[in-house]
Amino acid sequence: MGLWLVLAAGVAGCASMAPQNSGQLQSYPSPLIEAEWIRNGEPIQFEGDKWYPVNDYEVFSDPEVYQVGEYRDVQIFVAKIDTKPYKRIYTKFDKNKFRYWEPRDDD
């Protein structure tokens, strides 16, 4: 019984020495519901182009994206790995869910 207590205390001690997340990870708020203009399919004006919502999304953790702007009170993101010219921009609509937007040629 005594050996068991010593082993349990040792394991608990090792667990407390594990690196702790200091809570400083980047985090963006999720809207309760997407803006009506997004649900209506209206475009975002970004860097001189019109970007249209796609009926799909990608899963990112907040530290995998960064904010590049805001349009009509909605944050605009790109993947941190992406470079200009961007092929997609994103808006957040739920935890780790980002709707993507693509440019479209308007004739």
pLDDT digit string (tens) for the chain, length 107 residues: 554 444 444 444 444 444 454 566 779 999 989 999 999 999 999 999 999 999 999 999 999 999 999 999 999 999 999 999 999 999 999 999 999 999 987 65
pLDDT in tens, 30-43: 998 999 999 999 99
pTM of the model: 0.75
For the chain, give the DSSP string: -HHHHHHHHHHHHHHHTS----S-----PPPSS--HHHHTTPPEEETTEEEEEEEEEEE--GGGEEEEEEETTEEEEEETT--SSPS-EEEEEETTEEEEEEE----
Q: Are 69 and 46 in contact (CB under 8 A)?
A: yes
